[in-house]
Amino acid sequence: MNDVSTVQASGTATGTLSQALVGFVEDFDLDRVPAEVIARAKLNILDALGIGFASIGFDFATRLASALHEIGGEGAYPIIGMDLRLTQRDSAHLNGTLIHGLDYDDTHSGAVVHTSASAVPTMLAVGQAMGVDGRRALGAFLVASEAASRIGAAANGGFHQRGFHPTGVVGAFGSALGAAYLYGLEGEQLLDAQGIVLSQASASLEFLDDGAWTKRNHPAWASACGQTAAMMAKHGYFGPRKPYEGRYGLFNLYMRDPAMAEPSIVTAGLGEEWAMMGIAFKPYPACHFNHAFADATLALREKHALTPADIKSMTARIHEDQSNVVCEPEVNKKRPQNAYDAQFSVHYIMSASLARGRFTLDELEDEALGDTTILDLCSKASYEIDPDSAYPTYYSGEVVIETTDGRRLSHREAINRGSADNPVSPQDIEDKFFANATRTVSEGQASEVRDAVMSLETHDSLSALIDTLAAR
Protein backbone atom coordinates (compact mmCIF):
# COMPACT_ATOMS: atom_id res chain seq x y z
CA MET A 1 0.00 0.00 0.00
CA ASN A 2 1.24 3.50 -0.81
CA ASP A 3 1.42 5.77 2.19
CA VAL A 4 2.98 9.11 3.03
CA SER A 5 6.42 7.59 3.49
CA THR A 6 6.27 6.21 -0.05
CA VAL A 7 5.48 9.62 -1.43
CA GLN A 8 8.19 11.29 0.62
CA ALA A 9 10.75 8.76 -0.53
CA SER A 10 9.91 9.54 -4.15
CA GLY A 11 10.93 13.12 -3.72
CA THR A 12 7.94 15.04 -2.37
CA ALA A 13 9.73 17.42 -0.04
CA THR A 14 6.56 19.15 1.11
CA GLY A 15 5.02 16.04 2.67
CA THR A 16 1.71 14.79 1.34
CA LEU A 17 0.60 15.26 -2.25
CA SER A 18 -2.22 17.52 -1.13
CA GLN A 19 0.30 19.79 0.61
CA ALA A 20 2.38 19.96 -2.54
CA LEU A 21 -0.68 20.95 -4.56
CA VAL A 22 -1.51 23.61 -1.96
CA GLY A 23 1.89 25.12 -2.63
CA PHE A 24 1.28 25.01 -6.37
CA VAL A 25 -2.03 26.88 -6.08
CA GLU A 26 -0.76 29.43 -3.57
CA ASP A 27 2.32 30.20 -5.65
CA PHE A 28 0.58 30.22 -9.03
CA ASP A 29 1.37 33.32 -11.06
CA LEU A 30 0.30 33.61 -14.69
CA ASP A 31 3.32 35.81 -15.34
CA ARG A 32 5.59 32.82 -14.68
CA VAL A 33 3.72 30.54 -17.08
CA PRO A 34 5.53 30.21 -20.43
CA ALA A 35 3.84 31.93 -23.37
CA GLU A 36 3.53 28.64 -25.26
CA VAL A 37 1.61 27.09 -22.35
CA ILE A 38 -0.80 30.03 -22.23
CA ALA A 39 -1.30 29.83 -26.00
CA ARG A 40 -2.00 26.11 -25.77
CA ALA A 41 -4.46 26.60 -22.89
CA LYS A 42 -6.50 29.07 -24.94
CA LEU A 43 -6.66 26.60 -27.83
CA ASN A 44 -7.93 23.94 -25.41
CA ILE A 45 -10.65 26.30 -24.21
CA LEU A 46 -11.60 27.18 -27.78
CA ASP A 47 -11.75 23.53 -28.79
CA ALA A 48 -13.97 22.70 -25.81
CA LEU A 49 -16.44 25.49 -26.51
CA GLY A 50 -16.75 24.52 -30.17
CA ILE A 51 -17.71 20.98 -29.19
CA GLY A 52 -20.20 22.41 -26.69
CA PHE A 53 -21.95 24.30 -29.48
CA ALA A 54 -22.05 21.18 -31.67
CA SER A 55 -23.69 19.14 -28.89
CA ILE A 56 -26.78 21.22 -28.19
CA GLY A 57 -29.01 19.61 -30.80
CA PHE A 58 -28.52 16.09 -29.50
CA ASP A 59 -31.09 14.30 -27.39
CA PHE A 60 -28.80 13.84 -24.40
CA ALA A 61 -28.32 17.61 -24.20
CA THR A 62 -31.99 18.59 -24.30
CA ARG A 63 -33.00 15.91 -21.80
CA LEU A 64 -30.32 16.93 -19.31
CA ALA A 65 -31.24 20.58 -19.74
CA SER A 66 -34.86 19.74 -18.89
CA ALA A 67 -33.83 17.73 -15.84
CA LEU A 68 -31.52 20.38 -14.43
CA HIS A 69 -34.01 23.15 -15.07
CA GLU A 70 -36.73 21.23 -13.26
CA ILE A 71 -34.63 20.42 -10.22
CA GLY A 72 -32.72 23.69 -9.93
CA GLY A 73 -34.86 26.30 -11.67
CA GLU A 74 -33.75 29.44 -13.45
CA GLY A 75 -30.42 31.02 -12.71
CA ALA A 76 -27.99 33.67 -13.89
CA TYR A 77 -25.46 31.43 -15.62
CA PRO A 78 -25.63 30.95 -19.40
CA ILE A 79 -25.38 27.65 -21.26
CA ILE A 80 -23.21 27.23 -24.34
CA GLY A 81 -25.41 27.80 -27.39
CA MET A 82 -28.73 27.58 -25.51
CA ASP A 83 -31.38 30.12 -24.65
CA LEU A 84 -31.24 29.01 -21.04
CA ARG A 85 -29.73 30.18 -17.77
CA LEU A 86 -29.28 27.91 -14.77
CA THR A 87 -27.80 28.06 -11.28
CA GLN A 88 -24.03 28.06 -10.86
CA ARG A 89 -23.48 24.33 -10.37
CA ASP A 90 -26.20 23.29 -12.80
CA SER A 91 -24.71 25.47 -15.52
CA ALA A 92 -21.35 23.77 -15.02
CA HIS A 93 -23.07 20.38 -15.07
CA LEU A 94 -24.76 21.07 -18.40
CA ASN A 95 -21.82 22.89 -19.99
CA GLY A 96 -19.44 20.08 -19.02
CA THR A 97 -21.79 17.51 -20.52
CA LEU A 98 -22.02 19.49 -23.75
CA ILE A 99 -18.22 19.68 -23.99
CA HIS A 100 -17.74 15.96 -23.37
CA GLY A 101 -20.96 14.71 -24.93
CA LEU A 102 -19.59 13.98 -28.40
CA ASP A 103 -16.32 12.43 -27.19
CA TYR A 104 -14.50 14.95 -29.34
CA ASP A 105 -12.68 16.78 -26.56
CA ASP A 106 -9.01 16.86 -25.63
CA THR A 107 -7.23 14.10 -23.71
CA HIS A 108 -4.07 14.08 -21.63
CA SER A 109 -2.38 11.05 -23.14
CA GLY A 110 -0.54 9.80 -20.07
CA ALA A 111 -3.50 10.29 -17.75
CA VAL A 112 -6.18 9.25 -20.27
CA VAL A 113 -8.21 12.14 -18.86
CA HIS A 114 -10.37 14.67 -20.70
CA THR A 115 -9.19 17.67 -18.72
CA SER A 116 -10.95 20.61 -20.38
CA ALA A 117 -14.44 19.13 -20.04
CA SER A 118 -14.34 19.79 -16.29
CA ALA A 119 -11.85 22.69 -16.18
CA VAL A 120 -13.75 24.94 -18.63
CA PRO A 121 -17.19 24.76 -16.94
CA THR A 122 -15.50 25.32 -13.57
CA MET A 123 -13.69 28.36 -14.93
CA LEU A 124 -16.89 29.78 -16.43
CA ALA A 125 -19.23 29.18 -13.49
CA VAL A 126 -16.97 30.13 -10.59
CA GLY A 127 -15.33 32.87 -12.62
CA GLN A 128 -18.72 34.48 -13.24
CA ALA A 129 -19.72 34.04 -9.59
CA MET A 130 -16.56 35.77 -8.41
CA GLY A 131 -16.52 38.45 -11.11
CA VAL A 132 -12.93 37.71 -12.05
CA ASP A 133 -10.96 39.07 -14.98
CA GLY A 134 -9.66 37.04 -17.89
CA ARG A 135 -6.23 36.48 -16.36
CA ARG A 136 -7.66 35.01 -13.18
CA ALA A 137 -10.04 32.79 -15.18
CA LEU A 138 -7.23 31.52 -17.39
CA GLY A 139 -5.17 30.78 -14.28
CA ALA A 140 -7.99 28.69 -12.83
CA PHE A 141 -8.21 26.69 -16.04
CA LEU A 142 -4.48 25.99 -15.92
CA VAL A 143 -4.58 25.00 -12.25
CA ALA A 144 -7.47 22.59 -12.83
CA SER A 145 -5.99 21.07 -15.98
CA GLU A 146 -2.53 20.67 -14.51
CA ALA A 147 -3.74 19.01 -11.31
CA ALA A 148 -6.08 16.60 -13.10
CA SER A 149 -3.44 15.65 -15.69
CA ARG A 150 -0.79 14.91 -13.09
CA ILE A 151 -3.04 13.00 -10.69
CA GLY A 152 -4.40 10.92 -13.56
CA ALA A 153 -0.95 10.19 -14.98
CA ALA A 154 0.26 9.04 -11.55
CA ALA A 155 -2.20 6.12 -11.68
CA ASN A 156 -0.53 4.63 -14.78
CA GLY A 157 -3.83 3.34 -16.13
CA GLY A 158 -4.83 1.79 -12.81
CA PHE A 159 -8.19 3.56 -12.58
CA HIS A 160 -9.38 1.95 -15.80
CA GLN A 161 -8.39 -1.50 -14.53
CA ARG A 162 -10.56 -0.99 -11.46
CA GLY A 163 -13.54 0.08 -13.58
CA PHE A 164 -13.35 3.83 -12.98
CA HIS A 165 -13.46 6.49 -15.68
CA PRO A 166 -10.54 8.72 -14.63
CA THR A 167 -12.01 11.82 -16.31
CA GLY A 168 -14.75 11.89 -13.71
CA VAL A 169 -12.53 10.87 -10.82
CA VAL A 170 -9.48 13.12 -11.14
CA GLY A 171 -11.46 15.87 -12.86
CA ALA A 172 -13.15 16.41 -9.51
CA PHE A 173 -9.78 17.08 -7.84
CA GLY A 174 -8.73 19.42 -10.62
CA SER A 175 -12.02 21.31 -10.42
CA ALA A 176 -11.79 21.56 -6.64
CA LEU A 177 -8.38 23.21 -6.94
CA GLY A 178 -9.42 25.42 -9.86
CA ALA A 179 -12.51 26.58 -7.97
CA ALA A 180 -10.48 27.04 -4.79
CA TYR A 181 -8.05 29.26 -6.71
CA LEU A 182 -10.94 31.46 -7.89
CA TYR A 183 -12.44 31.57 -4.39
CA GLY A 184 -9.07 32.66 -3.03
CA LEU A 185 -8.63 29.73 -0.65
CA GLU A 186 -5.33 29.22 1.14
CA GLY A 187 -3.55 26.75 3.38
CA GLU A 188 -5.89 24.56 5.41
CA GLN A 189 -8.83 25.43 3.19
CA LEU A 190 -7.02 24.09 0.14
CA LEU A 191 -6.25 20.90 2.04
CA ASP A 192 -9.89 20.58 3.05
CA ALA A 193 -11.12 21.05 -0.52
CA GLN A 194 -9.00 18.14 -1.77
CA GLY A 195 -10.00 15.93 1.14
CA ILE A 196 -13.70 16.68 0.75
CA VAL A 197 -13.79 15.96 -2.97
CA LEU A 198 -12.32 12.49 -2.38
CA SER A 199 -15.76 11.46 -1.10
CA GLN A 200 -17.49 12.95 -4.14
CA ALA A 201 -15.28 11.73 -6.99
CA SER A 202 -16.68 8.79 -8.90
CA ALA A 203 -17.31 7.62 -12.45
CA SER A 204 -18.09 4.08 -13.58
CA LEU A 205 -17.08 2.44 -16.86
CA GLU A 206 -20.29 0.40 -16.93
CA PHE A 207 -21.51 2.54 -19.86
CA LEU A 208 -19.14 0.54 -22.08
CA ASP A 209 -21.45 -2.47 -22.07
CA ASP A 210 -24.56 -0.78 -23.43
CA GLY A 211 -23.65 2.68 -24.71
CA ALA A 212 -25.37 4.40 -21.78
CA TRP A 213 -25.27 8.18 -21.63
CA THR A 214 -23.67 8.41 -18.20
CA LYS A 215 -20.11 8.93 -19.45
CA ARG A 216 -21.16 12.22 -20.98
CA ASN A 217 -21.72 13.82 -17.60
CA HIS A 218 -18.69 12.44 -15.77
CA PRO A 219 -16.55 15.59 -16.16
CA ALA A 220 -19.64 17.73 -15.63
CA TRP A 221 -20.36 16.08 -12.30
CA ALA A 222 -16.67 16.42 -11.47
CA SER A 223 -16.95 20.17 -11.98
CA ALA A 224 -20.06 20.43 -9.80
CA CYS A 225 -18.45 18.32 -7.06
CA GLY A 226 -15.23 20.30 -7.22
CA GLN A 227 -17.08 23.57 -6.79
CA THR A 228 -19.06 22.14 -3.89
CA ALA A 229 -15.95 20.86 -2.14
CA ALA A 230 -14.17 24.20 -2.53
CA MET A 231 -17.13 26.13 -1.14
CA MET A 232 -17.47 23.74 1.80
CA ALA A 233 -13.77 24.25 2.51
CA LYS A 234 -14.22 28.02 2.31
CA HIS A 235 -16.77 27.74 5.08
CA GLY A 236 -14.52 25.65 7.30
CA TYR A 237 -15.72 22.12 6.56
CA PHE A 238 -12.96 19.68 7.56
CA GLY A 239 -11.70 17.14 5.00
CA PRO A 240 -9.23 14.20 5.21
CA ARG A 241 -5.57 15.17 5.06
CA LYS A 242 -4.30 12.29 2.90
CA PRO A 243 -6.82 12.10 0.03
CA TYR A 244 -4.31 10.60 -2.40
CA GLU A 245 -1.93 8.35 -0.49
CA GLY A 246 -4.01 7.54 2.59
CA ARG A 247 -5.16 4.09 3.64
CA TYR A 248 -8.49 4.71 1.87
CA GLY A 249 -7.18 7.45 -0.37
CA LEU A 250 -7.43 7.76 -4.13
CA PHE A 251 -4.63 5.40 -5.17
CA ASN A 252 -5.35 2.68 -2.64
CA LEU A 253 -9.13 2.73 -3.08
CA TYR A 254 -9.58 3.40 -6.80
CA MET A 255 -6.87 1.11 -8.19
CA ARG A 256 -6.87 -2.67 -8.41
CA ASP A 257 -3.10 -2.64 -7.84
CA PRO A 258 -2.03 0.44 -5.86
CA ALA A 259 1.62 -0.48 -6.43
CA MET A 260 1.16 0.70 -10.02
CA ALA A 261 0.85 4.28 -8.83
CA GLU A 262 3.78 6.68 -9.16
CA PRO A 263 2.87 9.54 -6.81
CA SER A 264 6.02 11.43 -7.74
CA ILE A 265 4.46 12.19 -11.14
CA VAL A 266 2.09 14.59 -9.39
CA THR A 267 4.88 16.73 -8.05
CA ALA A 268 7.82 16.31 -10.44
CA GLY A 269 8.55 19.74 -11.93
CA LEU A 270 5.24 21.06 -10.60
CA GLY A 271 4.94 24.73 -11.54
CA GLU A 272 7.92 24.54 -13.88
CA GLU A 273 7.10 21.74 -16.32
CA TRP A 274 3.59 21.81 -17.75
CA ALA A 275 1.44 18.73 -18.32
CA MET A 276 -0.74 21.02 -20.43
CA MET A 277 1.70 20.49 -23.28
CA GLY A 278 0.94 16.75 -23.20
CA ILE A 279 -2.78 17.21 -23.81
CA ALA A 280 -3.78 15.87 -27.22
CA PHE A 281 -6.46 17.33 -29.48
CA LYS A 282 -8.91 14.99 -31.17
CA PRO A 283 -9.15 14.98 -34.95
CA TYR A 284 -12.07 12.51 -34.75
CA PRO A 285 -15.26 12.44 -32.62
CA ALA A 286 -14.52 9.09 -30.98
CA CYS A 287 -12.57 7.52 -28.15
CA HIS A 288 -8.93 8.50 -28.49
CA PHE A 289 -7.96 4.83 -28.52
CA ASN A 290 -9.62 4.55 -31.95
CA HIS A 291 -7.91 7.45 -33.69
CA ALA A 292 -4.86 5.58 -34.95
CA PHE A 293 -7.18 3.03 -36.52
CA ALA A 294 -9.18 5.68 -38.35
CA ASP A 295 -5.99 7.21 -39.73
CA ALA A 296 -4.51 3.82 -40.64
CA THR A 297 -7.71 2.71 -42.41
CA LEU A 298 -7.96 5.96 -44.35
CA ALA A 299 -4.30 5.70 -45.35
CA LEU A 300 -4.83 2.17 -46.71
CA ARG A 301 -8.02 3.20 -48.48
CA GLU A 302 -6.28 6.05 -50.27
CA LYS A 303 -3.03 4.25 -51.07
CA HIS A 304 -4.70 1.15 -52.52
CA ALA A 305 -7.95 2.72 -53.78
CA LEU A 306 -9.93 0.28 -51.64
CA THR A 307 -13.70 -0.06 -51.76
CA PRO A 308 -15.95 -2.07 -49.43
CA ALA A 309 -16.21 -4.79 -52.11
CA ASP A 310 -12.42 -5.32 -51.87
CA ILE A 311 -12.47 -6.28 -48.19
CA LYS A 312 -12.28 -9.88 -47.00
CA SER A 313 -11.26 -9.00 -43.43
CA MET A 314 -9.99 -6.09 -41.31
CA THR A 315 -7.98 -6.56 -38.13
CA ALA A 316 -7.09 -3.94 -35.55
CA ARG A 317 -3.84 -4.69 -33.74
CA ILE A 318 -4.17 -3.01 -30.36
CA HIS A 319 -2.74 -2.98 -26.83
CA GLU A 320 -4.52 -5.29 -24.39
CA ASP A 321 -5.42 -2.48 -21.98
CA GLN A 322 -7.08 -0.53 -24.80
CA SER A 323 -8.98 -3.55 -26.10
CA ASN A 324 -11.16 -3.71 -22.99
CA VAL A 325 -12.51 -0.28 -23.87
CA VAL A 326 -12.99 -0.32 -27.66
CA CYS A 327 -13.05 -4.01 -28.63
CA GLU A 328 -15.18 -5.77 -26.02
CA PRO A 329 -17.87 -6.99 -25.80
CA GLU A 330 -17.31 -7.69 -29.46
CA VAL A 331 -20.94 -8.43 -30.26
CA ASN A 332 -21.79 -4.83 -29.28
CA LYS A 333 -18.84 -3.36 -31.14
CA LYS A 334 -19.83 -5.04 -34.40
CA ARG A 335 -23.41 -3.83 -34.12
CA PRO A 336 -23.41 -0.49 -32.29
CA GLN A 337 -26.87 0.44 -31.06
CA ASN A 338 -26.22 4.15 -30.72
CA ALA A 339 -23.59 6.82 -31.29
CA TYR A 340 -21.75 6.07 -28.06
CA ASP A 341 -21.47 2.41 -28.92
CA ALA A 342 -20.00 3.48 -32.27
CA GLN A 343 -17.51 5.94 -30.76
CA PHE A 344 -16.13 3.17 -28.57
CA SER A 345 -15.98 0.53 -31.32
CA VAL A 346 -12.76 0.01 -33.26
CA HIS A 347 -14.79 -2.23 -35.57
CA TYR A 348 -17.16 0.61 -36.46
CA ILE A 349 -14.45 3.26 -36.77
CA MET A 350 -12.49 1.13 -39.27
CA SER A 351 -15.62 0.18 -41.19
CA ALA A 352 -17.09 3.68 -41.44
CA SER A 353 -13.72 5.14 -42.41
CA LEU A 354 -13.27 2.53 -45.15
CA ALA A 355 -16.83 2.91 -46.46
CA ARG A 356 -17.02 6.71 -46.45
CA GLY A 357 -13.43 7.94 -46.59
CA ARG A 358 -13.88 9.99 -43.43
CA PHE A 359 -15.00 9.84 -39.81
CA THR A 360 -16.99 12.89 -38.75
CA LEU A 361 -20.01 13.69 -36.61
CA ASP A 362 -22.12 12.70 -39.61
CA GLU A 363 -20.91 9.10 -39.17
CA LEU A 364 -22.59 9.08 -35.75
CA GLU A 365 -26.03 9.94 -37.07
CA ASP A 366 -28.74 7.28 -37.21
CA GLU A 367 -28.46 7.05 -40.99
CA ALA A 368 -24.81 6.00 -40.73
CA LEU A 369 -25.40 3.64 -37.83
CA GLY A 370 -27.92 1.77 -39.97
CA ASP A 371 -25.84 1.83 -43.17
CA THR A 372 -25.72 -1.76 -44.40
CA THR A 373 -22.39 -1.19 -46.15
CA ILE A 374 -20.76 -0.13 -42.89
CA LEU A 375 -22.41 -2.92 -40.92
CA ASP A 376 -21.31 -5.53 -43.44
CA LEU A 377 -17.73 -4.34 -43.02
CA CYS A 378 -18.18 -4.50 -39.23
CA SER A 379 -18.98 -8.19 -39.56
CA LYS A 380 -15.59 -8.66 -41.27
CA ALA A 381 -13.70 -6.70 -38.61
CA SER A 382 -11.85 -8.16 -35.63
CA TYR A 383 -8.93 -7.39 -33.34
CA GLU A 384 -5.81 -8.98 -31.94
CA ILE A 385 -3.42 -7.99 -29.17
CA ASP A 386 -0.37 -6.06 -30.36
CA PRO A 387 2.81 -6.64 -28.28
CA ASP A 388 4.52 -3.80 -30.18
CA SER A 389 2.00 -1.13 -29.21
CA ALA A 390 3.44 2.09 -27.79
CA TYR A 391 0.52 2.46 -25.36
CA PRO A 392 0.33 4.23 -22.91
CA THR A 393 3.00 6.63 -24.20
CA TYR A 394 1.05 6.91 -27.44
CA TYR A 395 -2.29 5.56 -28.61
CA SER A 396 -0.74 3.63 -31.47
CA GLY A 397 -2.47 1.13 -33.69
CA GLU A 398 -2.08 -1.03 -36.78
CA VAL A 399 -4.74 -2.06 -39.32
CA VAL A 400 -4.28 -5.24 -41.35
CA ILE A 401 -6.58 -5.79 -44.35
CA GLU A 402 -6.97 -8.94 -46.38
CA THR A 403 -8.55 -8.30 -49.76
CA THR A 404 -10.79 -10.53 -51.82
CA ASP A 405 -8.01 -10.89 -54.41
CA GLY A 406 -5.54 -12.24 -51.84
CA ARG A 407 -3.50 -9.19 -50.87
CA ARG A 408 -2.42 -8.54 -47.27
CA LEU A 409 -2.13 -4.82 -46.60
CA SER A 410 -1.11 -3.12 -43.37
CA HIS A 411 -0.47 0.35 -41.99
CA ARG A 412 0.70 1.35 -38.52
CA GLU A 413 0.18 4.71 -36.85
CA ALA A 414 2.92 4.69 -34.23
CA ILE A 415 2.01 8.06 -32.69
CA ASN A 416 -1.62 9.18 -32.64
CA ARG A 417 -2.26 12.39 -34.54
CA GLY A 418 -3.03 15.34 -32.28
CA SER A 419 -0.59 14.26 -29.57
CA ALA A 420 2.39 16.36 -28.51
CA ASP A 421 4.77 14.35 -30.72
CA ASN A 422 2.44 14.35 -33.73
CA PRO A 423 0.57 17.61 -33.28
CA VAL A 424 -2.17 19.24 -35.20
CA SER A 425 -1.60 22.93 -35.95
CA PRO A 426 -3.28 25.88 -34.22
CA GLN A 427 -5.06 26.52 -37.51
CA ASP A 428 -6.35 22.93 -37.50
CA ILE A 429 -7.80 23.51 -34.03
CA GLU A 430 -9.39 26.78 -35.09
CA ASP A 431 -10.86 25.12 -38.19
CA LYS A 432 -12.27 22.35 -35.99
CA PHE A 433 -13.80 24.97 -33.70
CA PHE A 434 -15.57 26.73 -36.56
CA ALA A 435 -16.78 23.45 -38.10
CA ASN A 436 -18.29 22.44 -34.75
CA ALA A 437 -19.65 25.80 -33.62
CA THR A 438 -21.30 26.69 -36.91
CA ARG A 439 -23.41 23.55 -36.78
CA THR A 440 -25.61 25.52 -34.39
CA VAL A 441 -24.58 29.21 -34.35
CA SER A 442 -23.70 31.79 -36.97
CA GLU A 443 -20.16 32.27 -38.20
CA GLY A 444 -20.32 35.78 -36.76
CA GLN A 445 -21.06 34.53 -33.26
CA ALA A 446 -18.41 31.83 -33.60
CA SER A 447 -15.90 34.52 -34.55
CA GLU A 448 -16.82 36.54 -31.45
CA VAL A 449 -16.23 33.48 -29.26
CA ARG A 450 -12.88 32.81 -30.96
CA ASP A 451 -11.75 36.39 -30.50
CA ALA A 452 -12.80 36.46 -26.84
CA VAL A 453 -10.97 33.21 -26.04
CA MET A 454 -7.77 34.08 -27.87
CA SER A 455 -7.52 37.42 -26.05
CA LEU A 456 -8.84 36.13 -22.72
CA GLU A 457 -5.96 37.33 -20.55
CA THR A 458 -6.44 40.94 -21.74
CA HIS A 459 -10.05 41.34 -20.57
CA ASP A 460 -11.00 43.10 -17.35
CA SER A 461 -14.01 40.83 -16.95
CA LEU A 462 -14.78 37.23 -17.83
CA SER A 463 -18.08 38.55 -19.18
CA ALA A 464 -16.21 39.39 -22.39
CA LEU A 465 -16.27 35.65 -23.05
CA ILE A 466 -19.45 34.63 -21.23
CA ASP A 467 -21.56 37.16 -23.15
CA THR A 468 -20.64 35.49 -26.45
CA LEU A 469 -21.82 31.99 -25.49
CA ALA A 470 -25.61 32.03 -25.17
CA ALA A 471 -28.01 31.46 -28.07
CA ARG A 472 -29.15 34.54 -30.00
Please check whether residues 101 and 144 belong to one and the same domain: yes
Please check whether residues 207 and 298 belong to one and the same domain: no
Distances from the Cα of 367 to the Cαs of 103, 171, 218, 337, 338, in angstroms?
A: 19, 34, 28, 12, 11
Please check whether residues 273 and 305 belong to one and the same domain: no
Collapsed DSSP state (helix, strand, coil) of residue 249: coil
Judge whether 202 and 157 are in contact, CB under 8 Å. no
Please check whether residues 344 and 398 belong to one and the same domain: yes
Please check whether residues 160 and 272 belong to one and the same domain: yes
Collapsed DSSP state (helix, strand, coil) of residue 312: strand
Q: Establish if 430 belongs to a structural domain.
A: no
Distance CA 353, CA 249 (A): 43
Q: Establish if 455 belongs to a structural domain.
A: no
Please check whether residues 164 and 238 belong to one and the same domain: yes
**Where among 257, 280, 303 does a domain terminate?**
280
Collapsed DSSP state (helix, strand, coil) of residue 107: strand
The pLDDT value given to residue 160:
92
Please check whether residues 153 and 133 belong to one and the same domain: yes
Please check whether residues 275 and 308 belong to one and the same domain: no
Q: Establish if 423 belongs to a structural domain.
A: no
| DSSP string across 127-155 | HHHHT--HHHHHHHHHHHHHHHHHHHHHT
Burial of 402 (C-beta count, 10 Å sphere; 0-12/13-18/19+): middle
Please check whether residues 228 and 341 belong to one and the same domain: no
Q: Establish if 191 belongs to a structural domain.
A: yes
**Where among 231, 259, 280 does a domain terminate?**
280
Closest CA to 97 of 68, 73, 74: 68
Please check whether residues 111 and 229 belong to one and the same domain: yes
Closest CA to 192 of 175, 182, 181, 180: 180
DSSP H or E stretch at residue 472? none
Q: Establish if 98 belongs to a structural domain.
A: yes
CATH code (residue 136):
1.10.4100.10
DSSP H or E stretch at residue 204? none
Collapsed DSSP state (helix, strand, coil) of residue 426: helix
Please check whether residues 159 and 302 belong to one and the same domain: no
Please check whether residues 199 and 330 belong to one and the same domain: no
Distance CA 409, CA 354 (A): 13
Q: Establish if 337 belongs to a structural domain.
A: yes
Interhelix angle 426-437/443-454, nearest 10 degrees: 140
The pLDDT value given to residue 11:
33
Distance CA 98, CA 463 (A): 20
382 has which bridge partners?
Answer: 315
Number of domains in the chain: 2
| DSSP string across 382-419 | EEEE-TT--TTTS--EEEEEEETTS-EEEEEESS-TTS
Q: Establish if 442 belongs to a structural domain.
A: no
CATH code (residue 300):
3.30.1330.120
pLDDT tens digit at each of 472 positions of the chain: 333 223 332 333 348 999 999 999 999 999 999 999 999 999 999 999 999 999 998 999 999 999 999 999 999 999 999 999 999 999 999 999 999 999 999 999 899 999 999 999 999 999 999 999 999 999 999 999 999 999 999 999 999 999 999 999 999 999 999 999 999 999 999 999 999 999 999 999 999 888 899 999 999 999 999 999 999 999 999 999 999 999 999 999 999 999 999 999 999 999 999 999 999 999 999 999 999 999 999 999 999 999 999 999 999 999 999 999 999 999 989 999 989 899 999 999 999 999 999 999 999 999 999 999 999 999 999 999 999 999 988 999 999 999 999 999 999 999 999 988 999 999 999 999 999 999 999 999 999 999 999 999 999 999 999 999 999 9
**Where among 258, 280, 302 does a domain terminate?**
280
Q: Establish if 464 belongs to a structural domain.
A: no
The pLDDT value given to residue 393:
87
The pLDDT value given to residue 3:
34
Reported pTM:
0.91
Q: Give me the domain span that covers residue 56.
A: 4-280
Range 218-253 burial, b when 16+ CB lie within 10 A, else e? bbbbbbbbbbbbbbbbbeeeebbbbbbbbeebbbbe
Distance CA 395, CA 392 (A): 6
Distance CA 464, CA 442 (A): 18
For residue 247, the number of C-alpha atoms closer than 13 Å in the C-beta half-sphere is: 0
